[in-house]
Amino acid sequence: MGAGHAHRLYRHAHSPVHALPPHTKLAAAFAFVVVVVSTPRTAMWAFALYAVLLACVAHHARVPAGFLLKRLLIEVPFVAFAVLMPFVAEGERVGVLGLSLSVNGLWGAWNVLVKGTLGVATSVLLAATTELRALLLGLERLKLPPLLVQIASFMIRYGDVITDEMRRMRIARESRGFEARGVRHWGVLAKSAGALFIRSYERGERVHLAMVSRGYSPTTKRVGGAPSSMPVVDEVTASRAQWSHALALPLSALVVCLLGWAL
Amino acid sequence: MHVPDGFIDAPTSAVTAVVAAGALAVSLRGARREQGGTSRASEAERGGERTAPLAGLVAAFIFAVQMLNFPVAAGTSGHLLGGALAAILVGPCTGVLCVSVVLLMQGILFADGGLTALGVNITDMAIVTTVVAYAVFRGLLKILPRGRRSVTAAAFVAALLSVPAAAVAFTLLYAVGGTTDVAIGKVAGAMIGVHVLIGVGEAAITALTVGAVVAVRPDLVYGARGLRQGLKLRVNGALVDAPEPAAPVAARTSRRTLWISGLVTSLVLAGFVSFYASASPDGLEKVAHDQGIDTKTREHASAGSPLADYGVEDVSDARLSGGLAGVIGVGTTVVAGSAVFWAVRRRRTGAPAGAR
Amino acid sequence: MGPVTTAPASLEVSGLAFAYPDGHQALFGVDFSVARGERVALLGPNGAGKTTLVLHLNGILGGGTGTVTVAGLPVGKRHMAEIRRRVGIVFQDPDDQLFMPTVREDVAFGPAAAGLKGAELEARVRAALDRVGMAGFAERPPHHLSFGQRRRVAVATVLAMEPEILVLDEPSSNLDPASRRELADILRSLDVTVLMVTHDLPYALELCPRALILSDGTIAADGPTAGLLCDDALMRAHRLELPFGFDPRAATAG
């Protein structure tokens, strides 16, 4: 968390992966991660194959390896955690280089590391090849409650605005010689947070007025729609071919997974 | 505390996903009621559909506030989780929605928290924190004397308990579906110990923030809406003491007073149990020691754990074990709280709709 | 340019009084009418009730006495959807107004809410963006635009609904001189009725032949903009001040 969120995640390019409808990609990414998570941890070769599959997708999407690897850094805390597992886990122990390690812990560490890494890589690829707006449309298409998608879309629309307000408030504080150094300054920070909340909430009220002024009327039920549905401006659709392209990833992963259980 | 893929096994992830989906469905309905209108909305707009813009903006606010690092001591800093803050400011249902949306976006966009672990993360960080915080908050407001200071104090306690409660929930999930068999005691020790400390920071910032909002726009603090009426009347009544405005307050919240007060008193009791527990930590410390949890290992585990990104790194042994003390009480709170919550909810839905 | 009297007035406000629920009264009987095709400035000091008045025009506020009629249709619960389509309000902060993820979707929001879809919707959006010169920015997220561009898109979002009357709340605030002029050109090129709420007196003079002064919740003056701005006593009485060095006599003579 923190600065990492400000990264520009989307990599603009024209590739077969970019061109896929967002909901197919979301479904594929999700299914792939589910398959990865359900693979037995002892089938090490299976994870290697998964990595190869992801590398193929990255290649097709023209996402350079460096970009992907840099984004993988987000899971560093878990790597550290995984490294500690062999020391703290229970069960029979083996001696490696004079250290007493738990066998179970080693497996656990491997499990968390490899599955976590594959999961993060999948998310990174998804975010790198799908625009924010398209992701939201995809989520809506995948039958996420419309209200939830609307909330997410407002959050993304106003995330920058509010972060910017927060930044301006910080600059204003610092311009007057304030620097948060310790617990004594929590009060000042909290006052800023309070002010930020009031601004955010009042902006929410103004946005609502603007919506109402343009005919957003929840009380009149739309035909076949939830009473709160926003007007549908864009409808994303996917052809059978696009679905099959997208689902090629989780399906091939599923084959690997089943082999992993069988062997 | 964002859990990655592979940390919790698939069946447990699936179950938590169902739990999260159910809670979201309840919250979606509840949020509409919560955002029905505030003082500035005109009569024409009261009860209108304001949930999407307001919850969206609050989610953006939570997202921004999570980036607001507050210095803890030289070199280290923590940041808010925001569940308690959201619950108190905009109500528990909207709070659940806001934090869930933040988590969803973090998972999909920033790979912060695994996709399959979304259920775990939402259950843990969105649902447990907000529900516990709000129940404790309302409960304390019921028994504390009316006034701004009580709001701040209640917010402090609510946030203080909400964070370790999430840690307890995580530990329970880990006990059920953890992929590594690290002794549950160690996990609990590391998670809860560190989170009691994080909870202190969270509590202080939450309380101060709520205090700041109450001072300027008390009508915006959802959790203190009943109180706002009381305050106003007191000002008009030329410094008359609080008890007088009790009648209009009761009238205003009568719809829910009945079941909330029942729920809340039990939660408050549970909350106090945890305080007494923390007042005499010796027993617990001893238990921890007898179990042979090597404090040094524990310290390292926490430093390298998912919590490391909350910046609590150099935790001293004494504080850590001291912090462990409140934990059992909090655990009771969670269990008792959720039991009462579900019981009451069932009774309410079973009751005829014409009750109001 | 005299008011055209054949068609019903675009906007007819009579005896409008309103108090907020907390007892603060903002409007004390407002009467005026705006004929179709007119451009009228609504001037007034801070706290005169300008925003309150604007929120009455499309029925967001209501419940006081008096009536508002838009092209012959009374503002009230019965025709609310139609009223909101006919009265296009451009709010002061374009960030409040542009709430959708892309410019195109934002412009499409109003017409889509009214039930338009498909090619018709696309055409409407393109036409509205063309009129404000922002057609090349349709796929951009609003927060990546400059402030002036955002204000123009905000105008487009309202134009897309083909309103009877365009109500602009402080349209020139925070704009640099070039953006200010561009917006003025756009507003002049439109053939809709315009009610412009502003403090910016030179801008009012430039765009609106007629002006109203709203002060203490009533219409204190109604007449040709140049005439009002030249009446020093009237201006002083209602806390309206011309910017340094600006002489309305010289500006209109040229």
According to the model, what pLDDT value does residue B2 have? 77
Mean pLDDT score across all residues of chain B: 64
Query: What is the full DSSP assignment across B208-272?
Result: HHHHHHHHH-GGG-GGGHHHHHHHHHHHHTTS--TTTTHHHHHHHHHHHHHHHHHHHHHHHHHHH
Residues 14-43 of B with CB under 8 A from C: 39, 42-43
A112-137 pLDDT, tens digit per residue, is 888 888 888 898 888 888 888 788 88
Neighbouring chains of A at 3+ CB pairs under 8 Å are B, C
Whether residues A130 and A149 fall in one domain: no
Rounded average pLDDT over C218-226 = 93
pLDDT above 60: residue B260? no
Note the CATH architecture for domain C11-240: 3-Layer(aba) Sandwich (3.40)
* A73 at interface of B, judged by CB pairs closer than 8 A: no
* Residues in C touching B42 (Cβ below 8 Å): 21, 55, 60-63
- Distance in angstroms (rounded) separating the CA atoms of residues A105 and A125: 30
Decide if A187 and B60 are in contact by the 8 Å CB cutoff: no
Give me the helix-helix angle, B10-34 and B148-177, nearest 10°: 160
* B163 at interface of A, judged by CB pairs closer than 8 A: no
CA closest to C59 among chain A residues: A213
What does residue C99 show for φ and ψ, rounded to 5 degrees? -105, -5
Decide if A107 and B220 are in contact by the 8 Å CB cutoff: no
Residue labelled with tokens 């009129």: C131
Whether residues A19 and A128 fall in one domain: yes
Token pair of A132 as six digits: 């924010």
| DSSP secondary structure letter of residue B178 | B
What does residue C125 show for φ and ψ, rounded to 5 degrees? -65, -45
* Residues in C touching A212 (Cβ below 8 Å): 60, 84
Query: What is the full DSSP assignment across C84-108?
Result: HHHEEEE-S-HHHH--SSSHHHHHH
A239-261 pLDDT, tens digit per residue, is 888 888 888 888 888 888 888 88
- Distance in angstroms (rounded) separating the CA atoms of residues C171 and C187: 10
Closest by alpha carbon to C96, among B62, B97, B57?
B57
Question: pLDDT: is C216 or B49 the higher one?
Answer: C216
CA closest to C52 among chain B residues: B42
Contacts of B346 (CB under 8 A, 6+ apart): none
Task: Give domain status of residue A225, yes or no.
Answer: no
Count of other CB atoms within 10 angstroms of residue C244: 5
Q: What one-letter code names the amino acid at B106?
A: Q
Distance from C59 to chain B by nearest Cα, in Å? 8
Decide if A29 and B65 are in contact by the 8 Å CB cutoff: no
C41-95 pLDDT, tens digit per residue, is 999 888 888 888 998 998 888 878 889 999 888 988 888 888 888 899 998 888 8
According to the model, what pLDDT value does residue C187 have? 92
According to the model, what pLDDT value does residue B111 have? 74
- Distance in angstroms (rounded) separating the CA atoms of residues B46 and B32: 11
pLDDT above 80: residue B257? no
Contacts of C31 (CB under 8 A, 6+ apart): C13, C14, C15, C16, C219
pLDDT above 50: residue B233? no
Q: What 3-state DSSP class applies to C69?
A: strand
* Residues in C touching A160 (Cβ below 8 Å): 143
pLDDT above 90 coverage of chain A, percent: 2
Rounded average pLDDT over C218-238 = 92
Distance from A177 to chain C by nearest Cα, in Å? 28
Decide if C95 and A215 are in contact by the 8 Å CB cutoff: no
According to the model, what pLDDT value does residue C185 have? 93
Residue labelled with tokens 């560490």: A109
Q: Provide the phi-psi class of A119: left if phi over 0, else alpha when psi is between -120 and 50, else beta.
A: alpha
According to the model, what pLDDT value does residue A231 have? 61
Task: Give domain status of residue B85, yes or no.
Answer: yes
According to the model, what pLDDT value does residue A101 have? 74
CA dihedral A144, A146, A147, A150 (to 10 degrees): 100
> In terms of residue numbers, what domain contains B152?
10-355
Task: Give domain status of residue B46, yes or no.
Answer: yes
pLDDT above 80: residue C148? yes
A8-43 pLDDT, tens digit per residue, is 667 777 888 888 888 899 999 989 988 888 888 888
Residue labelled with tokens 């083909």: C162
pLDDT above 60: residue B224? yes
Query: How many structural domains compose chain A?
Result: 2
Predicted model pTM: 0.72
Closest by alpha carbon to B184, among B277, B291, B281, B331?
B291
B110-146 pLDDT, tens digit per residue, is 777 788 888 888 998 889 999 999 999 988 888 888 7
Question: pLDDT: is C8 or C203 the higher one?
Answer: C203
According to the model, what pLDDT value does residue A165 have? 84
Q: What one-letter code names the amino acid at C29?
A: G
Most trustworthy range by pLDDT among B330-334, C81-85, C150-154: C150-154
CA closest to A162 among chain C residues: C95
- Distance in angstroms (rounded) separating the CA atoms of residues B275 and A145: 40
Q: Do C30 and C56 form a contact (C-beta atoms < 8 A)?
A: no
Question: pLDDT: is B265 or C113 the higher one?
Answer: C113
B and C: number of Cβ contacts within 8 A: 18
According to the model, what pLDDT value does residue B307 have? 29
- Here the CATH number for the domain that contains residue B186 is 1.10.1760.20
Grade residue A1 by pLDDT with cuts at 50, 70 and 90: very low
According to the model, what pLDDT value does residue C69 have? 92
Closest by alpha carbon to C135, among C99, C160, C168?
C160
Best of C27, C61, C93 to substitute, by most chain B Cβ atoms within 10 angstroms, is C61
Best of B38, B39, B40, B42 to substitute, by most chain C Cβ atoms within 10 angstroms, is B42
| DSSP secondary structure letter of residue A228 | T
Task: Give domain status of residue B4, yes or no.
Answer: no
Whether residues A247 and A120 fall in one domain: yes
Whether residues A162 and A132 fall in one domain: no
Contacts of A184 (CB under 8 A, 6+ apart): none
Decide if C21 and B53 are in contact by the 8 Å CB cutoff: no
Q: Do A44 and B106 form a contact (C-beta atoms < 8 A)?
A: no
* Residues in C touching B53 (Cβ below 8 Å): 99
Q: What one-letter code names the amino acid at C190?
A: L
* Residues in C touching A214 (Cβ below 8 Å): 84, 88, 109-110, 113, 157-158, 161
Contacts of B133 (CB under 8 A, 6+ apart): B83, B84, B87, B88, B158, B159, B161, B162
Count of other CB atoms within 10 angstroms of residue B44: 16
What beta strand segments (E) does chain A contain? 93-96, 99-102
> In terms of residue numbers, what domain contains A209?
145-213
Decide if B60 and A152 are in contact by the 8 Å CB cutoff: no
What Å distances lie between residue C129 and B82, C186, C195, CA to CA? 40, 11, 21
* A147 at interface of B, judged by CB pairs closer than 8 A: yes
Task: Give domain status of residue A234, yes or no.
Answer: no
- Distance in angstroms (rounded) separating the CA atoms of residues A39 and B10: 10
Q: What 3-state DSSP class applies to A26?
A: helix
According to the model, what pLDDT value does residue B76 have? 53
Least confident of A22-36, A68-82, B197-211: A68-82
According to the model, what pLDDT value does residue B331 have? 38
Mean pLDDT score across all residues of chain A: 78
Whether residues A15 and A116 fall in one domain: yes
Token pair of B255 as six digits: 């719809």
pLDDT above 60: residue B287? no
Contacts of B288 (CB under 8 A, 6+ apart): B189, B321, B324
Q: What one-letter code names the amino acid at A126?
A: L
Whether residues A87 and A129 fall in one domain: yes
Decide if B42 and C62 are in contact by the 8 Å CB cutoff: yes
Domain ranges of chain C: 11-240
B154-174 pLDDT, tens digit per residue, is 999 999 999 888 888 888 888
* Residues in A touching B90 (Cβ below 8 Å): 201
Chain CA centroid to CA A241, Å: 26
Q: Give, for A106, the enclosing helix (H) or strand (E).
A: helix A103-129
Token pair of B293 as six digits: 């949890």
Q: Do C38 and C12 form a contact (C-beta atoms < 8 A)?
A: no
What Å distances lie between residue A132 and B109, C101, C102, CA to CA? 8, 9, 10
According to the model, what pLDDT value does residue A173 have? 77
Angle at C62 between CA C57 and CA C68, to 5 degrees: 40
- Distance in angstroms (rounded) separating the CA atoms of residues B90 and B267: 20
pLDDT above 60: residue C231? yes
* Residues in A touching C96 (Cβ below 8 Å): 203, 206-207, 209-210
Token pair of B66 as six digits: 């999570």
According to the model, what pLDDT value does residue B356 have? 35
Query: How many structural domains compose chain B?
Result: 1
Three state DSSP letters for B1-17? CCCCCCCECHHHHHHHH
- Distance in angstroms (rounded) separating the CA atoms of residues C12 and C22: 27
pLDDT above 70: residue B268? no
- Distance in angstroms (rounded) separating the CA atoms of residues B306 and A75: 9
* C99 at interface of B, judged by CB pairs closer than 8 A: yes
Decide if A155 and B108 are in contact by the 8 Å CB cutoff: no
Task: Give domain status of residue B79, yes or no.
Answer: yes
| DSSP secondary structure letter of residue A89 | B
Whether residues A48 and A153 fall in one domain: no
Token pair of B231 as six digits: 């305050």
